[in-house]
Amino acid sequence: METGKMVQHLHREIENLKKKIIKEATLVEDNLRDSIKALLNRDNNLANKIVARDDDIDEMEVEVEEDCLKIFALYQPVAVDLRYLIAFLKLNNDLERIGDLTANIASRAASLAVQDIIHIPRQIPEMAEITQKMLKNSLDALIDLDGDKAANVLAEDDIVDTLHESMYSVIGEFIRENPDKVSLWMEVLAISRYLERIADHCTNIAEDVEYMLSGEIQRHHSSGNQTDS
């Protein structure tokens, strides 16, 4: 195949890949929003639907990875195209991890919905709002190749970290006041931790956008990011 046609086919494959990732990302965004809605509304049915939908995200993640590897094998991309595909592979992994963490939030929400009503600390909806914004901006930064949006995501991660750290003293006080509900408060603390980890994965996506734009690896340049799940 002529070089010009090879490049055209490569760019067509990348565009198709982008569409699949956008579809995957949209489902992840919907699940994240709905998991918090299920928590705050004590909606057990919605929470269980979110857990079930995580299987769809897992299937999409596998399909995107297989497509990326096929493109590597067929076209042997270089320079910007290579960096783009590497970023897609990393993004795909981060989206799957965010999907898992969102399913974890939904599982906790389902558990809390059938137990005694407890007060959800303000930090949880605040963290949720910021992480949803981070996820949207990190994906927009990738699609639009927008370095400013990526930088905003990195800055917002510090806010989420601070809110999560404050949850330990908040939950500690609630436990002292209601020691018979320790298990419920620990569920809430776990949700806070899941949101903090989602923010870290959004940060990973933003760092990968900066890598695409500059060719320099940004990972670990900011302090304290964790990506375990």
The reported pLDDT for the residue numbered 214 is 74
Quick check: is 228 in a domain? no
Structural domain for 181, as ranges: 3-214
Quick check: is 223 in a domain? no
Decide: helix, strand or coil at residue 222: coil
Quick check: is 219 in a domain? no
Q: Residue 190 burial (CB < 10 Å; 0-12/13-18/19+)?
A: middle
Quick check: is 12 in a domain? yes
CB 145 within 8 A of CB 212: yes
Would you write out the chain's pLDDT as a tens digit for each of its 229 residues?
557 788 889 999 999 998 999 899 999 999 999 999 999 999 999 999 999 999 999 999 999 999 999 999 989 888 888 888 888 899 899 999 999 999 999 999 999 999 999 999 999 999 999 999 999 998 888 888 888 888 899 899 999 999 999 999 999 999 999 999 999 999 999 999 999 999 999 999 898 888 777 766 665 544 444 445 4
Quick check: is 229 in a domain? no
Tell me, what CATH number does 21's domain have? 1.20.58.220
The reported pLDDT for the residue numbered 7 is 85
Quick check: is 222 in a domain? no
How many domains does the chain contain in total? 1
What does the alpha-carbon distance between residue 96 and residue 98 come to, in Å, rounded to a whole number? 5
Number of CB atoms found within 10 A of residue 10's CB: 17
Quick check: is 221 in a domain? no
